[in-house]
Amino acid sequence: MEATYIDHSGSDLTVVNAARVSFSKESSWEFTNEWVETPYGTAIDQRRSLKASDERLIKYLARHNHWTPFGHPSITLRERVPIFVARQRFKHVVGFVYNEVSRRYVDDTPEFYTPDVWRARAENRKQGSSDEPLDQVLYQRMHGDRTITESVERLNEHALTLYKDMLDHGVAPEQARMVLPQSMYSEYYVTGSLAAFARAYNLRSDDHAQQEIQDLAIHWDTIIRPLFPVSWAALVDKETN
């Protein structure tokens, strides 16, 4: 699972001022100067931070679910995930827009995702998987000592061969794509508000979420936390509030 930073707008101060405008107020950054060593000698490094009162305001907004101030900043990412993960990702609609690679227009050779570990089906809930890897002994006995990964790779190779053969014989890409497995990687641009990303992260980083989308959520956290450190912590770190 991959997520790459493209762009963002706003900052923690944007959240603060979106809230303070209700009272026709506006806040500003606090600046501090620190002496730092550089390759050229000692220099002043000016750093900006929120005022303590503004940090408290952000925490208050998050704690009481006043989400609209967090709707003004936005983040744009390019994500690369297999189709079955993308379909889960696209369930997050409110506050997001997506533009995905279309195999109506491109017919380059697709790539496929294969997990490192096959997880066993969970016995204590209707969906999801257990924390234990699947014991493949019985499967291998029934399939000539072939592993599940080897079977999947064989299926992908067959699908890819059929796909290319259909294209070579003039089948339109928009129809030929129907034979490609859900393990095929797709890519898309996604832009969402800070509030929308936080909602998605809180759901998809949960232990009950599918492991593959939990892995994607880790990328969101890595990218967004440095951009909006106070707001992101207030929205997703339970101990912060």
pLDDT tens for 5-36 read 999 999 999 999 999 999 999 999 998 877 77
Taking the C-alpha atoms of residue 48 and residue 200, their distance in angstroms, rounded to an integer, is 29
DSSP labels for 211-223? HHHHHHHHHHHHH
Instruction: Give the HSE-up count for residue 138: Cα atoms under 13 Å, Cβ half-sphere.
Output: 2
Residues ≥6 apart with Cβ < 8 Å to 101: 186, 187, 188
- Give yes or no: 63 in active site: no
- Among the listed residues 128, 127, 129, 146, the one whose alpha carbon sits nearest the alpha carbon of residue 137: 146
| The pLDDT of residue 145 | 75
| The pLDDT of residue 38 | 74
| The pLDDT of residue 163 | 97
The neighbour count for residue 192, using CB atoms within 10 Å, is 24
Q: Are 186 and 84 in contact (CB under 8 A)?
A: no
Q: In 3-state terms, what secondary structure has residue 20?
A: helix
> Is residue 94's pLDDT more than 80?
yes
Catalytic residue among 121, 199, 204, 225: 204
pTM for this structure? 0.88
Place of tokens 């809930």: 125
Residues ≥6 apart with Cβ < 8 Å to 206: 214
| DSSP alpha helix (H) spans, the chain | 12-20, 52-63, 83-89, 137-142, 148-168, 173-176, 194-204, 211-227, 229-236
Q: By mean pLDDT, which of 43-52, 129-138, 145-154, 161-170 is the weakest?
A: 129-138
Q: Are 107 and 179 in contact (CB under 8 A)?
A: no
pLDDT tens digits, residue range 195-222? Answer: 999 999 999 999 889 999 999 999 999 9
Q: In 3-state terms, what secondary structure has residue 206?
A: coil
pLDDT tens digits, residue range 149-186? Answer: 899 999 999 999 999 999 999 999 999 999 999 999 99
